[in-house]
């Protein structure tokens, strides 16, 4: 039996043995005082808790030992003391969730202050990072020039000059050093477009599906509708709603990639590329499948107007599941577009053209055909799924009555 | 639907629960025959009798201790501490007994009870009868803390507190007793842990509790009318459990955060909310969160001084306006 | 030597008490219980010396007659409220020894799985409604439990144990007044072991008998008894319980007793005068007193030895169970803060 240095008090770490009442070889009974210890708090006698012969004293009179040290050995029934049993198992380390001290979004949107000392609000930093705005070019309107979110939004529309990126431009310039050129500085929009499209083309595994759709019926319907009301519907308005309905009919394609999951949506928010001077915006028509063609047309005109004035708010061009890019009005027959991240598809629409097709009884007739190409993110939309989406779009656009239902 | 005062809502809420459940009993100083020093419990003694509505001596420890003994053996007591300042003389029961009995006994001892108390200032009662002690209560793991701002919330949240299996500290605001509001007929039961958007807005979020709620609403109306600033006002209602999602969601829309707290500044409830929102809503914030509080002082008695101490409509307007630069 | 206390104790002879019947079966049960409390507390002390009992603990060595006599007079369903010196009162209601020692050792088999510790032993299923470590807090709580019985017409009584030191704190006086004005079925039992913690109670109390001397302030009878004689304790408690159960209201009983160990494990009790401990151990030991009475009443030595041996074996078995028991799992750290079983205070 090992005699341990007891803990005399909750905060005491060691004890000093001031007196030994027993000597090696003495027999001891439970309750017999063995020794007296003294701590910074108390002194007290320590009795034996078992009977036997005091075999060994390890901490002698006047010595100090830490709590739980073996002070002496008592041989029970004359037998030598058994080796000390292994200490009780320590509890397993806790893997609990109550310690939620840090839940700040893990993404860092840059430092709180610029090199020149200007402070930037957290929201302003996030907006700038998301839109590729160079904060050194933004003037802060807050106290001590602090940059707020509305300063960043203002700089998106004011198109401040962004300094040319050192390291790349000199090499390019060198190649053309003998050719006369005018250097056009990048504005924020150009920077954002460049960054996002490089990112999209490099990180999204694109593939492309092309097909022709017959729009003769659609053109007749449009003519009839426009004769009835002041709001004039464009072909693009029909395409927006038709693509939204197609996405609704193929729910697995009404989804986007979110790195560790796929987000599948209830509604179909469809972006529409709007070309503006010096770049483009892709404002989003929310819940396009639920809106009338007239509503889509009115909303689209407003968004396009404000896009050209660079007055769109971020929430008007962020998000969406898919986009439409229509170059038909420029006479383009067909093309493929780069997906607008984080969306998963984009519909590239060519010009409607009169083309000869096989007639009902082996003859030839002319129909108005439009060639469309869907670019798909293969992580979300596989080939067959993309084909279903294209077929659904074709079915809706060739029977456009459903667009009025 | 009828108009009811906050004061009468207390008695109606208690009566609603006592009629429903014979295990609900009520004790406190002057609550029975006298109908309460704030006249908030008039009629209960006559309706439920002296064994269920028990007048006690001035013995706050005995009141709260007896409530616990009754609760742990099957009753659902409502105990009244006349002024919340008096919690200081019986804090042992809140801090050491109610809050810890379930945990310490590995779930054996249950403590389903409600401590009602008149909290807050504005009545010119001086430093020992005017304090806002919600932070004394919410600092203890195991307690729930509720503070209604309207008559209908008094009834609904009191019912939810009585029916809750945990000890609930129910802070009535003594300067709201005379206020009135529309209250539907029939049984009213609300839910603990749900904050309420009482005035939607887009430019800033103002979090308020109890008496500060009507002041925050009045300030928001003034900010809109005079400065074109549209503030969203949220009545926090329940400090524990705390409805962080409603508040985080509001800040994610408005991007600015203000708290209006009657408690003295150090360790007020707003400090905890601001710390959470500064963490989890960091990149939604477009400016520093601002706390509007009573200074870190005891409350004075005289009206001119007390009115300067406790956040007023004008102080809220001025602080929000300055901070937003409007 | 504490002359005052000795005088009071001697003044209470067994024969002077009410003629409540105690047969030999009951005597043997009370004897066994006292031996269990003694051996179990001694084992707790030994385990502390081996650093297997952590934290603090407050032993009842020397005070066994109060716990055993009071518990023996209680009915199933009656409620016990005790202080941090509550091991003995918990065991006396039939709580298994291994669950008490397990709690002292912080093991998963403990009554509270290590979440409460020595000072908070509780076993609701045995009527042990808690051990309270804030002096006096449980006195109003016991009143509340008694109020529930009175309100509902339940027949159980609440029995509230405390030390002499408790008689000087406010909640004691608030609770006694409450019990008296509402005529609650509660019995207050003061174990006057002569020392509040380290200071003699007589040095800090205005009256000679810290509990009995206050009884009249609440309209209660002044009752002071020999707390070292379990028969005296049993008879006095029984008559107070009967009174409470029949609607006669509360009683306050002061039991004169003695604490063999210090206040807590950190206290070697050096403040006691020379010879005092020897006097109590030699002349006033409750187990010795009871053993002699049993022998005089014709119970054989071998019967008593068999009880003693059996108890010792059971203490050894309980110790072995506890030593083999694992520590609690880490996940109970956050359970039972709220009634939903968890700790969450926000969404």
> What pLDDT, on the 0 to 100 scale, is given for residue C6?
41
- Supply the pLDDT for residue A183: 76
Residue C327 to residue A45, Cβ atoms within 8 A: no
The Cα–Cα gap between A323 and A327 comes to 13
Of C170, C336, C347, the CB nearest to B244: C347
Q: Cβ–Cβ of B287/A148 closer than 8 Å?
A: yes
Beta bridge partners of C81: C160
Task: Decide if A390 contacts A382 (C-beta within 8 A).
Answer: no
Q: State whether residue B266 sits within 8 Å of chain A by CB.
A: no
Cβ C51 vs Cβ A6: under 8 Å: yes
- In angstroms, the Cα distances linking B293 to B85, B140, B207, B216, B303 are 18, 22, 12, 12, 17
| B158 neighbors B170 (Cβ within 8 angstroms) | yes
Could you tell me which residue, A185 or B215, shows the higher pLDDT? B215
Closest chain A residue by Cα to residue B277: A104
What's the longest Cα–Cα distance across chain C?
70
A68 touches chain C (CB under 8 A): yes
Tell whether B255 lies on the interface with A, counting CB pairs under 8 A: yes
- For the stretch C190-249, pLDDT in tens is 999 999 999 999 999 999 999 999 999 999 999 999 999 999 999 999 999 999 999 999
Confirm if B120 and B262 have CB atoms less than 8 A apart.
Answer: yes
Which whole number is the average pLDDT over B187-210? 97
* CA A274 to chain centroid: 26
Nearest CA in chain A to B289: A121
pLDDT at A107: 59
Which residue from A247, A222, A311 is spatially nearest to A274, judged by alpha carbons?
A: A311
Q: Do A288 and A309 meet the contact criterion of CB atoms below 8 Å apart?
A: no
Q: How many residues does chain C have?
A: 347
Reported as a pLDDT band with limits 50, 70 and 90, residue A62 is confident
- Give me the mean pLDDT over the A190-201 stretch: 84
The rounded distance, in Å, linking the Cα atoms of C129 and C135 is 16
For the segment C243-267, the average pLDDT, to the nearest whole number, is 93
Q: What backbone phi and psi angles, to 5 degrees, belong to A297?
A: -65, -45
Q: Taking all residues of chain B, what is their mean pLDDT, rounded to a whole number?
A: 96
User: Is residue C130 within a helix (H) or strand (E), and if so which, with residue range?
Assistant: strand C128-132
**CB-based contact, B286 to chain A, within 8 Å:** yes
Q: How far is CA B319 from the centre of its chain?
A: 24
Q: What is the mean pLDDT of chain A?
A: 84
Binned at pLDDT 50, 70 and 90, residue C256 comes out as very high
**With bands split at pLDDT 50, 70 and 90, how would you rate the model's confidence at A10?**
low
Q: Do A105 and B325 touch (CB under 8 A)?
A: no
Alpha-carbon span C39 to C308, nearest angstrom: 9
Which of helix, strand or coil describes residue B41? coil
Predicted local distance difference test score (pLDDT) of residue A163 = 42
Q: How far apart are CA B118 and CA B147, in angstroms?
A: 10
Residue of A nearest to C49 (CA): A6
Report which of B232, B17, B234, B269 is spatially closest to residue B119, judged by C-alpha positions.
B269
Cis amide linkage into residue A140, ω under 30° from 0: no
Residue C5's pLDDT is 44
Rounded to an integer, what distance in angstroms lies between the CA atom of residue B138 and that of residue B263? Answer: 12
Q: For residue A100, give how far its alpha carbon lies from the nearest alpha carbon of chain C (Å).
A: 11
For A312-349, how does the pLDDT look when each residue is reduced to its tens digit (9 = 90+)? 877 888 889 999 999 998 889 999 999 998 999 999 99
d(CA C167, CA A168): 87
Report the range out of A220-229, A272-281, C226-235 with the highest average pLDDT: C226-235
Secondary structure (3-state) at B277: helix
Q: Which of A206, A238, A209 is nearest to A223 (CA)?
A: A238
Name beta bridge partners: A337.
none
* The pLDDT value given to residue C8: 43
Least confident of A101-110, A358-367, B251-260, C28-37: A101-110
Query: Hey, which residues does B232 pair with through a beta bridge?
Result: B205
Which residues, other chains included, contact C294 with Cβ-Cβ below 8 Å and sequence gap of 6+? C27, C28, C31, C304
Residue A378: which region, alpha, beta or left (left: phi > 0; alpha: psi -120 to 50)? alpha
* Per-residue confidence (pLDDT) for residue A307, from 0 to 100: 87
pLDDT on residue C270: 87
**Do C117 and C332 meet the contact criterion of CB atoms below 8 Å apart?**
no
**Positive or negative torsion for Cα C241, C243, C247, C248:** negative
pLDDT, tens digit (0-9, with 9 covering 90-100), for C137-175: 999 999 999 999 999 999 999 999 999 999 999 999 999
Tally Cβ neighbours within 10 Å of residue C178: 30
Three-state secondary structure readout of B152-166: HHHHHHHHHHHHCCC
**Structure tokens given for A69:** 């040290």
Residues of B in contact with C346 (CB under 8 A): 240-244, 276
* Lowest mean pLDDT, pick from A3-12, A48-57, C284-293: A3-12
Please say whether the beta carbons of B234 and B267 come within 8 A. Answer: no
Smallest CA–CA distance from C328 into chain A, residue: A91
Predicted confidence at residue A167, as pLDDT, reads 45
Q: For residue B286, which residues of chain A lie inside 8 Å, CB to CB? A: 121-124, 148-149
Tell me the count of B-C CB pairs closer than 8 A. Answer: 158
d(C-alpha C105, C-alpha B296), whole Å: 45
Q: Can you tell me the distance from the alpha carbon of A320 to that of A341, in angstroms, rounded to the nearest whole number?
A: 9
Q: What is the 3-state secondary structure (H, E, C) of chain A?
A: CEEECCCCCCCCCEEEEEEECCCCCCEECCCCEEEEEECCCCEEEEECCCCEEEEEECCCCCCEEECCCEEEEEEHHHCCCCCCCCCCCCCCCCCCCCCCCCCCCCCCCCCCECCCCCEECHHHHHHHHHHCCCHHHCCCCCHHHCECHHHHHHHHHHCCEECCCCCCHHHHHHHCCCCCCCCCCEEHHHHHHHHHHHHHHHHCCEEEEEEEEECHHHHHHHHHHHHHCCCCCCHHHHHHHHHHHHHHHCHHHCEEECCCCEEECCCCCEEECEEECCEEECCEECCHHHCCHHHHHHHHHHHHHHHHCCCCCHHHHCCCCEEEEECHHHCCCCCCCCCCCCCCEEEEEEEEEEEEEECCCCCEEEEEEEEEEEEEECCCCCHHHHHHHHHHHHHHHHCHHHHHC
Pairing of strands C223-226, A345-358: unpaired
DSSP string of B52-120, one letter each residue? TEEE--S-HHHHHHHHHHHHHTT-EEEEEEEEGGGGGGSHHIIIIIIHHHHHHTTT------EEEEEE-
3-class SS of residue B239: strand
Give the residue, B309 or A195, on which the prediction is more confident: B309
User: In angstroms, how far is the first alpha carbon of chain A from the final one?
Assistant: 92
Question: Strand, coil or helix: what is C23?
Answer: coil
Q: How far apart are CA C264 and CA C267, in angstroms?
A: 5
CA distance C239 to chain B (A): 24
Q: What value does the mean pLDDT take over residues A44-55?
A: 86
Pick from C266, C323, C333: CB nearest A8: C266
Are the C-beta atoms of residues C136 and C170 closer than 8 Å to each other?
Answer: yes
User: Which residues of A are designated catalytic?
Assistant: 378
Q: Could you give the CA distance from residue A376 to residue A396 in angstroms, rounded to a whole number?
A: 19
A7 and C51 within 8 Å at the Cβ level: the answer is yes
What tokens appear for B79 in the block? 């105990």
Joined together, the tokens standing for residue A366 give: 């002319």
Average pLDDT over residues B137-153: 98
Helix axes B60-72 and C138-152, enclosed angle (nearest 10): 60
Pick the residue from chain C with its C-alpha nearest to A36: C268
| Element spanning B183, H or E | strand B180-183
Judge whether B280 is closer than 8 Å to chain A, CB to CB.
yes
Does the N-terminal peptide bond of residue C34 adopt cis geometry, omega within 30 degrees of 0?
no
Q: Which of B216-227 are b and which e, b meaning 16 or more Cβ less than 10 Å from the residue's Cβ?
A: bbbbbebbeeee
pLDDT digits (tens, 9 = 90+) for A84-120: 444 444 443 333 455 655 555 555 677 788 888 888 9
pLDDT of A159 > 90? The answer is no
For residue A158, what pLDDT is reported?
Answer: 57
**Contact across the interface for B285 and A121, Cβ inside 8 Å:** yes
Rg (CA), chain C: 20
Given a contact cutoff of 8 angstroms between Cβ atoms, the answer to whether B259 and B207 are in contact is yes
Least confident of A193-197, B129-133, C87-91, C196-200: A193-197
Nearest by CB to residue B282, choosing from A104, A146, A148, is: A104
User: Would the pLDDT of A128 be above 90?
Assistant: no
What is the distance of C-alpha C23 from the center of its chain? 23
A403 neighbors A252 (Cβ within 8 angstroms): no
**Is A6 within 8 Å of C328 when comparing Cβ atoms?**
no
Q: Which residue, chain included where needed, has tokens 């809140």? A: B94
């Amino acid at each position: 039996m090992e005699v341990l240095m007891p803990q005399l008090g909750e905060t005491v770490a060691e004890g000093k043995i001031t007196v030994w009442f027993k000597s090696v070889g003495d027999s001891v009974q439970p309750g017999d005082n063995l020794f007296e210890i003294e701590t910074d708090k108390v002194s007290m006698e320590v009795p034996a808790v078992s009977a036997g012969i005091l075999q060994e004293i390890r901490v002698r009179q006047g010595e100090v030992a830490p709590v739980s040290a073996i002070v002496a050995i008592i041989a029970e029934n004359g037998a030598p003391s058994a080796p000390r049993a292994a200490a009780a198992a320590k509890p397993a380390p806790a893997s609990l969730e109550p310690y939620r001290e840090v839940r700040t979004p893990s993404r860092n949107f840059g430092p709180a202050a610029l090199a020149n000392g200007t402070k930037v609000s957290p929201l302003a930093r996030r907006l700038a990072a998301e839109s590729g705005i160079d904060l050194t070019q933004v003037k802060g309107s807050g106290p001590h020039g602090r940059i707020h979110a509305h300063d960043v939004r203002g700089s998106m529309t004011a198109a401040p000059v962004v300094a040319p990126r050192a390291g790349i431009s000199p090499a390019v310039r060198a190649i053309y050093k003998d050719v006369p050129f005018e250097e056009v500085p990048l504005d924020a929009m150009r920077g954002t477009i460049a960054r996002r499209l490089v990112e999209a083309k490099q990180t999204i595994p694109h593939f492309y599906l092309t097909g022709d759709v017959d729009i003769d019926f659609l053109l007749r319907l449009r003519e009839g509708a426009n004769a009835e009301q002041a709001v004039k519907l464009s072909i693009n308005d029909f395409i927006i709603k038709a693509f939204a309905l197609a996405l609704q009919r193929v729910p697995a394609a009404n989804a986007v990639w979110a790195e560790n999951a796929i987000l599948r949506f209830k509604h179909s928010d469809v972006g529409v590329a709007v070309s503006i001077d010096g770049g483009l915006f892709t404002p989003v028509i929310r819940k396009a499948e639920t809106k009338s063609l007239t509503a889509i047309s009115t909303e689209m005109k407003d968004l396009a107007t404000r896009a050209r004035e660079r007055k769109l708010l971020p929430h008007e061009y962020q998000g969406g599941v898919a986009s439409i890019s229509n170059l038909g009005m420029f006479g383009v027959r067909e093309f493929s577009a780069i997906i607008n991240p984080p969306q998963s598809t984009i519909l590239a629409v060519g010009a409607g053209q009169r083309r000869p097709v096989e007639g009902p009884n082996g003859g030839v007739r002319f129909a108005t055909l439009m060639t469309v190409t869907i670019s798909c993110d293969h992580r979300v939309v596989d080939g067959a799924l993309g084909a279903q989406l294209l077929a659904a779009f074709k079915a809706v656009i060739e029977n456009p009555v459903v667009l009025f239902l | 639907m009828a108009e009811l005062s906050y004061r009468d809502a207390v008695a109606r809420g208690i009566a609603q629960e006592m009629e429903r459940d014979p295990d609900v009993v009520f004790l406190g100083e002057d609550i029975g025959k006298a109908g309460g020093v704030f006249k908030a419990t008039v009629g209960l003694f006559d309706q439920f009798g002296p064994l269920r509505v028990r007048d006690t001596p001035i013995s706050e420890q005995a009141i709260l201790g007896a409530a616990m003994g009754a609760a742990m053996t099957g009753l659902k007591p409502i105990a009244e501490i006349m002024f919340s300042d008096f919690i200081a003389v019986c804090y042992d029961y809140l801090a050491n007994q109610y809050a810890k009995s379930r945990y310490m006994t590995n779930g054996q001892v249950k403590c389903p009870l409600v401590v009602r108390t008149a909290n807050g200032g504005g009545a010119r009662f001086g430093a020992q009868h005017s304090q806002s002690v919600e932070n004394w209560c919410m600092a203890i793991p195991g307690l729930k803390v509720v503070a209604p701002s309207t008559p209908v919330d008094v009834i609904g949240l009191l019912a939810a507190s009585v029916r809750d299996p945990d000890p609930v500290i129910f802070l009535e605001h003594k300067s709201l007793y005379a206020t009135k509001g529309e209250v539907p007929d029939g049984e009213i039961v609300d839910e603990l842990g749900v904050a309420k958007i009482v005035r939607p807005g887009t430019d800033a979020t103002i979090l308020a509790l109890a008496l500060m709620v009507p002041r925050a609403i009045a300030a928001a109306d003034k900010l809109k009318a005079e400065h074109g600033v549209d503030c969203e006002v949220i009545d926090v209602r329940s400090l524990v459990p705390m409805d962080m999602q409603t508040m985080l969601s509001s800040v994610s829309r408005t991007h600015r955060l203000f708290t209006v707290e009657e408690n003295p500044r150090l360790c007020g409830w707003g400090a905890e909310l601001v710390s959470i929102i500064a963490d989890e809503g960091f990149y939604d914030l477009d400016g520093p969160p601002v706390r509007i509080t009573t200074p870190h002082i005891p409350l004075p008695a005289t009206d001119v001084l007390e009115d300067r101490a406790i956040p007023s409509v004008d102080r809220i307007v001025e602080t929000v306006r300055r901070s937003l630069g409007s | 030597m504490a002359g005052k206390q000795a005088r009071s104790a001697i003044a209470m002879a067994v024969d002077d008490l009410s003629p409540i019947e105690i047969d030999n079966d009951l005597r043997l049960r009370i004897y066994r219980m006292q031996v269990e409390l003694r051996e179990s507390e001694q084992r707790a002390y030994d385990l502390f010396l081996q650093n297997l009992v952590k934290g603090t603990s407050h032993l009842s060595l020397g005070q066994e007659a109060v716990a055993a006599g009071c518990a023996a007079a209680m009915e199933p369903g009656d409620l016990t409220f005790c202080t941090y010196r509550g091991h003995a009162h918990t065991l006396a209601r039939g709580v298994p020894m291994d669950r008490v020692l397990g709690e002292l050792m912080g093991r998963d088999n403990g009554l509270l799985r290590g979440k409460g510790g020595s000072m908070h032993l509780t076993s609701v299923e045995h009527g042990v409604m808690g051990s309270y470590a804030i002096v006096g807090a449980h006195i109003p709580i016991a009143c509340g439990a008694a109020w529930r019985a009175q309100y509902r017409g339940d027949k159980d009584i609440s029995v509230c144990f405390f030390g002499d030191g408790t008689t000087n704190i406010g909640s004691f006086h608030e609770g006694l007044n409450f019990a008296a004005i509402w005529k609650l079925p509660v019995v207050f039992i003061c174990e006057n072991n002569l020392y509040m913690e380290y200071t003699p109670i007589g040095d800090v109390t205005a009256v000679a008998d810290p509990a009995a001397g206050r009884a009249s302030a609440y309209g209660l009878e002044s009752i002071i008894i020999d707390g070292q004689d379990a028969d005296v304790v049993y008879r006095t408690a029984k008559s107070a319980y009967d009174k409470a159960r029949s609607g006669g209201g509360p009683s306050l009983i002061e039991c004169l007793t003695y604490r063999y160990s210090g206040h807590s494990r950190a206290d070697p009790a050096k403040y006691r005068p020379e010879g005092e401990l020897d006097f109590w151990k030699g002349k006033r030991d409750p187990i010795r007193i009871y053993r002699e009475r049993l022998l005089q009443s014709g119970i054989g030595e071998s019967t008593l030895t068999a009880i003693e041996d059996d108890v010792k074996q059971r203490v050894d078995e309980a110790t072995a169970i506890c030593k083999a028991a694992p520590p609690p799992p880490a996940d109970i750290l956050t359970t039972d803060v709220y009634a939903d079983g968890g700790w969450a205070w926000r969404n």
